[in-house]
Structure 1
Amino acid sequence: MKIIKYIIPFFLAVNCQLLTVNCFAQQIVKIEGQKYYLHYVEKGNTLYSISKKYDVAIGEIINTNPEVEGGLKVDQVLRIPFKKQDKKGRPDKQPQIEVRYISHVVKEKETLYALSKKYNVKVKDILDANPEAINGLKVGQTLKIPSLQSKDVDEAASKPATEDSLVIHHVRKGDTYFSISKKHNVSIDSIRLLNPNIGKLKEYQALRIPKQNTNWKPKPKPKPKPVLLDTTPLPIRKDTSKIKDTYQVALMLPFYLDMNDTIEVRKKLNEKTRIYYRSEIALQFYEGFLLAVDSLERQGLRIKLFIYDTQNDSATVANLLNGREMPNTDLFIGPLFKSNFEIVSAYAKKWAIPVVCPVPLSNKILLGNAHVSKVVASQAVQAECIAEFTTKNYPDSNTIVISSQAKKDKLLAKIFLRKRTELLFSKDSLINDTAKYVEFAKIYKDSIRPMLSLEKSNIIIIPSNDQAFVSDLLTKLNGFTKEYKIKVFGTEKWQNFDNIEVHYLHDLQVHLPCPSFINYSDEVVKSYLRKFKKRYSAEPGKYGILGFDVAYYYLKALQKNGLYFQKQLADIQVAEISNSFYFFKTGIESGYENGYVNIMKYENYELIKVN
């Protein structure tokens, strides 16, 4: 083991057809051959209280009414699976057994893992109840999902129903998306965007309509309390025992020390020392990390730093975690590769230790582990930031979203449009969303012109990482720049495309989201560059700067708030070199993601920050 040790809702739009809605709680209906109770959601109802009233598992209510995943809303009508009632009007009590089952019909693209997360059960338990599923799931297959009613009700199940700021439409027999859109004078796409969990319409489903509920009143914002600068204490945890004199930190990076040893042994006489090329990222990160440690040590922080060589090998990582010092670790930073990180994050979850992912990895690493935080904003977050920037800065523009037919590109487009709709309908005065969405398999110039406006600025969103698609589209768009005002928004990966004419990027005023940005004219940046060069006789690369920012931010958080620092990440204000931090929790039981994104624009043949 190689270790380096270092000390330091219009209530239902007032629809007269629904004035009898209060009797729903006593009504039993048959929908598609199955009987249901109709439950009218009232103020104060929770998923837990409804499940207890009808003796139906919470997961079964959610499965039957997917629209409640976003939270219960007053005036929703829920379909509760029918159970035979006894003379007292209550569902017959079945013999008390430890496990009850929910029936789930498999949908396209669903996996055992996704179902285990949805119903909060183990994959093994699903397979035990459905041994035929061992060979894979089939669309239309009915599964029995084990359902244990826990004594400890989670936060989502105990959250009371709230008034919806938008109009609620209850689906009636014969309703279609088209008829509903015509009735409320809104687009079908806007209805679908506000109701992402509803596919095929079923009677009594509650749809959110992009029209403001005139009876809804936003909660008044609390008046800020006067702050006395000299007497306001720093925000620290009440349990001061979690503030330690010395913190133990584990930095896990792929140094590939064995490969470097081999290179050294094989080196010829008078040959310069070479470093294994795959070691360079880890070494740069490590060098920046140590500079941050030195700076914080001078500010009174004491840490016991352990450096581990993961070698990008899962067996090596698992072996490292067997070290006697590991359970005493207060913070893990790394590893950098997904397979290695998953091993460490599972260990960190078991021992309730914060673990940091400093590089771009899939957001799956955040699912079900509240101890993980991810430094680099995902492309989904970047798409939402583009939606926020364009909605705020170009509210009256002609917005066009152009996607290729690739699944990932269409998903990013959907995320952008959903966020844009959310932003528009959260405002006091409603704005009619006129954004156009189009998918191209092959791009023709004549198919673009009809979408453009001569009177307004044309904001074109291209959420694609397909270099050939982007290059072809920008070439076509550039032919319109003399007639139309065009601004294009792309993805971070465009910076690496080498087949796009540079003048296209400027003529089309291309904007890109970038998680990191270095302002070389900033004095803090200049100072860091001088210190790095003085110590290592080299300029810091991208990872040398990332290592400093990550170390300084997280170690400062430890110093200020102790072992509970993750719940107070937003309180940490430091002078970063390149990476700014604005963390948000991605789910009740999931981890934290950095939501800070720079919006950069090509101007005078360089990228400048515009947000």
Structure 2
Amino acid sequence: MISVRNHRQLLSGNRIFFLLLMMSIMACSASKSVVNKKDVQIVKSDSDKKIKRDTIRPEDGVIRDDILKNQPKMDTVIWHDISDEKGAVNDKNSRDAHFNKKDSYRINMLIPLNSDEIVDPAASRFVQFYAGALLAFEELKQEGVSLNVRVIDTDEGSYQLERHLDELTSDSIDMIIGPFDRDQLRTLAEKCNEKQVYLVSPWQTSSKLTQQNPYYIQMKPNLREHFNKIVQYSLTNYKQGEVVLVGQNSGETKAWFQYFQDEAQLINKNKKEFFGSYFVNLDSLKKGPTAFYNLFKGKNVKAIILPNYSFQDENFVYSCLRRLAAEKGNKTFSVIGMPLLFDSDKVEFEFYHALQIKVAISDFVDKNEEKIKVFRRTFLDKYGEIPTTDAIRGYDLIMYMGRNLYHYGKEFAKYLSRESTSYLQSTYDIQRAYIDVDKMMDDPEHFDYYENKYLDIIGFKGDKWVKMD
């Protein structure tokens, strides 16, 4: 069963996409019954503008995506409940008896679809995520996985989560996916810990959101994991002194640099500092004759790390890249950094080659892979639109969680760390996360939550991004 919306005709936007999306939802079910009607509001970003969203939260390393608000309105929608009374058939004899398994699993999905004011549904990252998830639900049903799914529109800032906590976490619920709102996620995480219901966070991640909560699963690596990945890549590919950390002369930057040094020393078991450090003068970036003369003077620099992650630092990062490209001469080196280097409009194509840019990133999509091409064709045939990375992310997450529920039952999370699993764009390496490493050494069983640790280092080769490791 999937609880969904039945939309009236749209006044504007991509009507074909939304119509086919709703038809595909109905196709997932055998019978239909109206159980509830209510008007909802949906907020949609301006399709003519690219959303710039910070991927990492500074105070605690949260990975997040921001969406624009206050866009033009359109028709309201009405909720319909579409139920599959029989569900999928499970072959119990083929499954291990010692797992706590059920014939069917109940999932609540909280997602801000916000369709009342949507201009172009195909451009909404949450609608794309939802559309990809629906394709996964269909495929899982064909595999014999019976899921009873309730989709709840959290309506971006107006959904009153506290009023529905008991209902959302009732004894019959096996998993909750979402919400996007950070405060709602924190509240729900504590309730899920109390009620022993697994909560999966596809969008937000934070090392401070919850503690001692074995029912919370973060699907995106946090700030420290990005830094750790860059440290590991540096230690594998370069020698001591060949990699230089570059940033502004600030307390925050110094703290980042120290973290890199400490992590390298911990891995290398060497007290010597592995990385060089260089604080760039802002005035020299804007109007000085040179900004990086002293960086290269008498040194064999083979890589430069820019640890900036926020779009607030976009101009600084661009200025560094522009100066490095202008001053490099015949020197050859790589610039390694955060997803900002991949997402920023300011990072020009010529920088990718000239500076051999490499990025630590999760959910990398190689559009030339055959499995991605097949998915894109399937999505296009179904909805009449090209899928974004959010559609692929929604598909991957539901396939991963649905299959693990089917194979391992209600306590599936305990078995997620058995292996690293790859889907279309996502590779899941779910491990126990410890806020206090010392406590881990004392008692590994008392962990804080589960977290996906997987990241790729990608680089630009020829005319495309490729995985480097």
Residue 608 of structure 1: aligned partner: 466
Q: Does 1:421 align with 2:421?
A: no
Alpha-carbon spacing, 1:439–1:7, altered in 2? closer, same or farther (3 Å): farther
Alignment of 1:132-151 (within 5 A): none
Q: Structure 1, residues 114-155: CA drift from partner, whole Å, max 9, x if none?
A: xxxxxxxxxxxxxxxxxxxxxxxxxxxxxxxxxxxxxxxxxx
Higher Rg of the two aligned structures:
1
CA–CA distance in structure 2, aligned partners of residues 383 and 498 of structure 1: 23
**Cα deviations across residues 456-495 of structure 1 (Å, max 9, x unaligned)?**
4521111113122222222332234224332111111122
Q: Identify the match of residue 322 of structure 2 among 472, 475, 485.
A: 475
Query: Hey, what's the Cα distance between the residues in 1 that align with 2:314 and 2:169?
Result: 47
Give secondary structure in 1 for the equivalent of 2:217. Answer: strand
Q: Given the alignment of the two structures, is residue 370 of structure 1 paired with residue 217 of structure 2, yes or no?
A: no
- Post-superposition Cα deviations, 1:316-343, rounded to whole Å, max 9, x if no partner, equal 3223334388331101111112122223
Correspondence 1:331-342 to 2 at 5 A:
331-342=175-186
Q: CA deviation at 1:510?
A: 1.3
2:106 paired residue among 244, 248, 261: 248
SS in 1 for 2:366: coil
The residue number in structure 2 matching 1:282 is 126
**Higher relative CO (CA 8 A, sep ≥ 6), structure 1 or 2?**
2
Show the counterpart of 2:337: 490
Give 1:378 deviation, angstroms.
1.7
TM alignment of 1:313-328, pairs within 5 A: 313=157, 315-323=159-167, 326-328=170-172
Given that 2:177 and 2:199 are in contact with CA atoms closer than 8 Å, whether structure 1 keeps it comes out as yes
**CA, structure 1 residues 542+471, in 2 after alignment: closer, same or farther (shift >3 Å)?**
same
Return closer, same or farther for 1:7/1:250 CA change in 2, 3 Å cut-off.
Answer: farther
1:404 aligns with 2:248: yes
Q: CA deviation at 1:438?
A: 3.2
* CA gap 1:457/1:537 in 2 versus in 1, 3 angstroms: same
Partner of 2:391: 544
Which residue in 2 is equivalent to 1:294? 138
Change (3 A) 1:562 1:579: same
Task: Give, in angstroms, the shift of residue 503 of structure 1.
Answer: 1.8
State the match for 2:357 in structure 1.
Answer: 510
Equivalent residue, structure 1, for 2:449: 591
1:272-320 Cα deviation digits (max 9, x unpaired): xx65769933321111111111112222211111111111246532233
Aligned CA distance change for structure 1 residues 450 and 545 (closer, same or farther; 3 Å)? same
Equivalent in the alignment of 1:523: 370
Measured at CA, do residues 471 and 275 of structure 1 come closer, stay the same or move farther in structure 2, by a change above 3 Å? closer
Task: Say if 2:276 is the partner of 1:436.
Answer: yes
In 2, the alpha carbon distance for the partners of 1:525 and 1:496 equals 20
Question: CA 1:408–1:379 in 2, change beyond 3 Å: closer, same or farther?
Answer: farther
Distance 1:455 1:279 in 2: 47
Structure-2 separation of matches of 1:281 and 1:463: 26
What is the match of residue 296 of structure 2? 452
Which of 175, 184, 187 aligns to 1:343? It is 187
Q: How high is the sequence identity, in percent, across the aligned residues?
A: 19
Distance 1:449 1:535, change over 3 A: same
User: When the two structures are aligned, how many residues end up with a matched partner?
Assistant: 366
Conservation of the 8 A alpha-carbon contact between 1:404 and 1:464: no
Letter in 2 for 1:506: H
Could you tell me how far apart the structure 1 residues matched to 2:429 and 2:178 are?
A: 19
Give the letter for the 1:337 counterpart.
D
1:543-597 Cα distance to aligned partner (Å, 9 max, x none): 1111101101111111111122212212356541111111222223411221111
Gapped runs of 5+ residues in structure 1? 9-233, 261-273
Asked if 1 retains the 8 angstrom alpha-carbon contact of 2:122 and 2:385, the reply is no
Deviations 1:170-224 (A, max 9, x none): xxxxxxxxxxxxxxxxxxxxxxxxxxxxxxxxxxxxxxxxxxxxxxxxxxxxxxx
- Whether the aligned pair in 1 keeps the contact of 2:216 and 2:449 (CA below 8 Å) is yes
Which among 560, 566, 581 is matched to residue 407 of structure 2? 560
Work out the CA distance in 1 between the residues paired with 2:429 and 2:392. Answer: 18
Distance 1:549 1:324 in 2: 23
CA contact (8 A) 2:231 2:263 kept: yes
Q: What is the root-mean-square deviation in Å for CA atoms of aligned residues?
A: 3.1
The equivalent of 1:312 in structure 2 is 156
The answer to whether the Cα contact below 8 Å between 2:245 and 2:304 also exists between their aligned partners in 1 is: yes
In structure 1, distance between residues paired with 2:211 and 2:252: 19
Asked if 2 retains the 8 angstrom alpha-carbon contact of 1:366 and 1:586, the reply is no
Which has the larger displacement, 346-355 or 405-414? 405-414
2:232 to 358, 363, 388: 388
Kept in 2: contact 1:443–1:473 (CA 8 A) = no
CA distance, structure 2, for counterparts of residue 406 and residue 421 of structure 1: 23
AA in 1 matched with 2:108: A
Give the Cα separation in 1 of the matches to 2:331 and 2:299: 8
Give the secondary structure class of the aligned counterpart of 2:106. Answer: strand
* Matched residue SS, 1:390: helix
Contact 1:454–1:484 under 8 Å retained in 2: no
CA distance in 1, matches of 2:226, 2:407: 29
Q: SS of 1:577's equivalent? A: coil
* Whole-Å separation in 1 of the counterparts to 2:369 and 2:410: 32
Q: What CA distance in whole angstroms lies between the structure 2 residues aligned with 1:277 and 1:340?
A: 24
Indicate conservation of the 8 Å contact 2:244/2:301, yes or no: no
Distance 2:263 2:391 in 1: 34
Amino acid at match of 1:247: Y
Q: How far apart in 1 are the matches of 2:180 and 2:373? A: 28
TM-score by length of 2: 0.70
- Structure 1 residue 358, shift from structure 2 partner: 0.5
Tell me how far apart the structure 2 counterparts of residues 443 and 563 of structure 1 sit (CA, whole Å).
58
Q: TM-score, normalized by length of structure 1?
A: 0.55
Change beyond 3 A, Cα 1:501–1:525: closer
